[in-house]
Amino acid sequence: MGKRVELGRRGEALAAGRLSEHGYAIVDRNWHCQEGEVDIVARRNGVWTFFEVRTRRGRAFGTPEESITPAKLERMIDVALAYLAVHELADVDWRVGLVAVEMDARGRIARFEVYESVT
């Protein structure tokens, strides 16, 4: 497994744990469809959130937030809509969120931010 994939998986595991600690029920992870993939599907207080997790070690390639382009945001919305359709969740409140994780050179969390809505 490559270092980038390993870093991403570690970030997703950390995100799932932290989201659970803050009252989110993790409903699904790494759900795939024709439109793409959602890292974490979570529910809290009746609201479904489709989280993209972006993990970075350093800022050579920008912050995790900067990696969400308009095209990526559109794909995230398309994946969320596909999930809702497949699971017959037509009348639920939902949003697309982001978990931004930055690690230091030793692999420790330097910054962890949850954005419940990025639309």
The proportion of the chain whose per-residue pLDDT surpasses 70, expressed as a percent, equals 98
Helix (H) or strand (E) holding 9: helix 3-21
> pLDDT tens, 59-87?
777 889 998 999 999 999 999 999 999 99
- Predicted confidence (pLDDT) at residue 36 exceeds the cutoff of 80: yes
Asked if residue 83 lies in contact with residue 38, where contact means CB atoms within 8 angstroms, the answer is yes
Q: How far apart are CA 106 and CA 102, in angstroms?
A: 11
pTM (2 d.p.): 0.92
Q: Which domains does the chain have, with CATH numbers?
A: 3-115 (3.40.1350.10)
Q: How far apart are CA 22 and CA 25, in angstroms?
A: 9
Burial 88-116 (b: 16+ CB within 10 A, else e): eeeeeebbbbbbbbbbeeeeeeeebebbe
